[in-house]
Every structure is written in C-alpha cells, then in structure tokens.
Structure 1
Amino acid sequence: MRRTVMVFSVAWIALGAMAPAQAAVHSIDELPYVNVVGCNDKEHWAAQRVICSPEARHSKLWDKLVQEDGYVFGQYRDLLQNTALNSPEQQRIVVSQGEYLRRRDACGKDLLCMLRVEEARDKELMALRAKLRKDLPEDEIAAWSKGWVIPGSGGKPQALGQRVMAGFALYPLPHVTLADGSTLFWGFQQGEGSVQSLAMTNGKGQLQVLGMADDLLLSSKEKTSTPQLRLFVQDPKALERYLPALRAWAAADSLGFNQECPGKDAQRCTAAMQSPLPIRAFLLRHEAGKKRENNALQSPVPLPKVQDSVSPGLFWQ
C-alpha cells in the first residue's frame, strides 16, 4: 500500500537555500526545506515557479507532480524525526534534500524531467526510511506490564498492558529521536484522542519509561476535565535522564502538538512549560521485603528536578 506519511494540500513547499554549514537547531522545524507555504511565496525554487505556473497546471503531469512532491517532503520530514537532532546522519539527509531540489531545478521547464527526479527521490527516501525504521518495543511493554493492574472504569481493575496498548492504536506511531539516540513513541486510542500512551527507549531501543496520558491533549485550551500523565519506570534513575523530554511532550500535548517553537508559538510553548504539568511517576517493580501487590500505582516515585532542555516544538503529529 501507499505509505501514510503526511497529507499535503495543493499548497506547495517553500524552500530556502541551505547554508554551507548547518547550525545547531532546537527543532526539526528550524531545518531547511520543511516549511509548507502556498504558491505565492516569494522564496520559490525555480522548479516550483514552473510547476505553479498556469501553463503547468493544464498539463496532464501536474497532478502527479504535486502528488510525488507531497510524498517526497512527507518522507523527508519523517526521516528528520527518525534521526537524532543535529546528528551527522540528520545533516546528511538535509544536504541530500538540497541536492535533490537543485537537480529538480536543473530540469528547467521540462515537467517530465521533474517528475522523474521526484520519483527517484521518492524511492531513495523510502529505502532510507526502511533502513532507519524504529519499532515500538511491544515485547518489552508486555513484559513490564505483565501482572500489573490499574483502577479502571467503575473502580474495576484493568490490566496495565491492556490500557497501554489501547493508547498505541495510531499507525504509523508518531515518534521523535533525540540527540542521544533515545526515542519517544506516542499514540492514542482509536476514536478517543484523549486516551494516549507513550514509551521512551534508549539508543539501543530498550524500554526505559512507559506512560499513560488521560485528558491531557489540548488541556491548555479545554478545561473540561482533570488531565494526568502517569509514568512507569523500573529504574527511577531513568527519570533523571528522560524527564526533560517527557515534560516537553506533555506541554506539546496540552497545546495540541505542531507548535513552532522557537518561532511564532514560542510564547505559548514557554507558558505551557512553566505551568504545572500533571505528571506522576511510579515504580513498576516488586521491592524485596514488601508484600507483593499488583496495583501499578502502589509505589510512587518523586520526580527529580531537571532543566527544561527539550522544546515542545519537537513533537508533531
């Protein structure tokens, strides 16, 4: 099947020339070639000006050109999310995207040439996505959650694993790879966006933090319920390392994701980070000498004080 990367309207992508050396950024939205704009943008590349012209719109190739362009740029953004921010690997992807755009420009007014360049880049990015693909550690999630329960509806116990996996119904799962190679996956329950789950893995793909969010999505705008984010760890030290990213995700979630910060949404992001985030953590491990219980909320863990070093602008869906 055709991949479900990103859906683009007939708006086109405005692209800026890439600097010889890419400066460090705080969000993939600061990287070149990721800004979506209309055909009236002043920064069009030569190929864009041709494709956006009235003559091209009447060509039988126009629909296919627009479609392939959407695939290419959707995959490009997805690859940026799959690689560590500011890493050499990510920068190589940015450089290769600039090279692709210049190849397309070199086609002049030849629409068939442009289409061939787009299709070749599409295949190239598909192969790279397959190589860099990261999967949710479902086996580890099952092992972590086995035997544990949480209070469910009506006070009846609900299996922790059942609740967590219900919140990963979205496919493909949104995820972001951080500078240290760790990856944060998240999703939501089918038909119920306010029921979400998340998982944080280290650079080796091993599960470090499991989480459940309820009524957190858009909670900064809609005060209709009590939001909460419950985190589960087997080693409390994981919170010291991963809490900055988890706090930033919670802030992004409360805003509805897709925030440009740094950028036009910087003030909103700052306010969300500074507001009290409804985060609690629990130890998902039976301690020696204590009565064995299966309530996953029986062992709360204090949250460490951490610096907010991750931007909510990282998290898009």
Structure 2
Amino acid sequence: MVVEAISKNFFLFLSNNRLLDKLAKKWGPKFGADKIVGGETFDQAVPLIKRLNQQGLQVTVDHLGEFINSEPESRNRSQECMETIRTIAEHQLGSEVSLKLTSLGLDISEELVIENMEQILDTAEKHGVVVTIDMEDSSRCERTLEIYKRLKTKYQNLGTVIQSYLYRSDCDIDELDEYDPYLRLVKGAYKESGKVAFPAKEKVDANLKHLIKKNLLNGNYTAIASHDDQIINYTKELAAEQRIPTDQFEFQMLYGMRNQTQLDLAKEGYTVRVYLPYGDDWYGYFMRRMAERPANIAFAIKGVFSK
C-alpha cells in the first residue's frame, strides 16, 4: 500500500511538470504517444474510430487540453467541439464526445461556460451525439455538477462523471437521480486531500461498487469506467442477480490499455466504449492515468511498445 501511494503521488507530481509537458508535446510521437492518443487532430482520429467501430467497440473522444484562461480560447475550443460533432455525424461514427468545462472557460465565467455548452449541445442534439462533461479536481466538482443540472433540464443527450474517491459522491448520486442522469463512474485521478477523498484504495474500490449498484438500481444509465477485473466482474454479477438489462450500462476503457479485454467484453454482448483522446496536450492526461492504478503502467508500456 505504501508503494502504491508513493507511485500515485509520483505520477501526479510528474503530471504538473511544465518542462516535461513541453518536451512531451515535441517528442511524443517518437515515444509512442500515438499508442494512447488518436492523433493531433480529430481528422487523424477518424480512421481509428472507424476501425474500433468495425471491431464492435463504441468510442468517446476528448480533445485534450484544459485550464483555458481567455474568452477567445474558450470560444475557439467550443467551435472545435462543434466541428468534431459534425464530423462524427458526417462519417456516421459510433462515437460520443467528452469535454472538460475548464477548456470552455469554467475558471473565467460560469455564464461563458453555459453559453459555450448550449452551442455545443444544440449542435449535438441536432446530430444525435451524446456529450459527457468530464469531472476535474474536487475544487471544481460543485460548479461542474450545478452546471450539469442546469443544462440537463433542457438537454437529454448529456452525461457527467462521478468519482468514487470523493466522500461526497454518494450524496451526489442521490441528488442527481431526479435528472435521469447518464453517469460515468470512475475512481478518480487527481491528487486530493484526505479531507475530501478516501486515502485508501480499498475504500475507493468499495465506494465505486456501491455507486455502481445505487445508480443501476435507480434505473439510470451507467458507464463503468475501469480496467479493474474485480469491478468489471462485480458489475456483471450484479446485473445478472438484479436482472439489469445490458442496454442500461456499458464498460469504458482507455484507448491503448486492455485491448483484448475490450474485445472480449464486446463479444460477450456488453457495450464497450473506448475513451480516445486526441491533440498534442497528452502528457498530463497520461500521467494521471498512471497515477490511477499501478497496473496501468504495465498496460501502457505494453501498448506503447507493441506493434
């Protein structure tokens, strides 16, 4: 447990190193970044999404980058997201879109975020594409959920994320139930204080199982985002015991990790969605994935060096 904690803190520390981030943007393709991201642009990712769809896998795409500090940047990111949605529709891709509110100006103005999100969701609704608001660190959790609630009263094609390492998540599930939420349930990947988050992995895992059960029994669509066999098997057993239909939930995994498990689950009849990021700002994303779970290191190394 001590080694695991050290490993997590080490990768979270690296995720915030600006020099390494700069080097990663420059040299990423030469060191196998293409094994974990779909390309520097969405157009580069389109053939890969088609290939994943042909293998029976669904996709959600995420343009990497966060903490936008200017209004023009946030509006540009909004326009890019709308163009991605139009491209998904044009190519008839089995893909949703994930985004971070900080990339749309959350740290600038809530009204700016709402304006950008409404434009994106109008476009997504027109083309039948689902959009999921990614969750960021705990300091932004409350604002993210309040914006989700506000938008969900107008748009149905909208999901968000709940992190099981936060103490508050059980109450958040209860409060969101009235909104008929589409929730992606994850463990969480940011460095958080013991005042807001479970410090022990066992508690995080147990809470994730609890949240999965609660949201499924509430009748809400649930995306279980985990590479952990224990969590996957728990969900399968729960669904069988409670007679929860397979069209009420899906499994989500990262592109480049546990590829065979993704295919195996799809062949068993489960919906499997691959989280496919694109863009050159991949370094922080990758380091947080390493921090989430030590086994991800092995998955990533195998993915990077395999042909």
TM-score by length of structure 2 reads 0.30
| More RCO (CA 8 Å, sep 6+) | 2
Bigger Rg, which one: 1
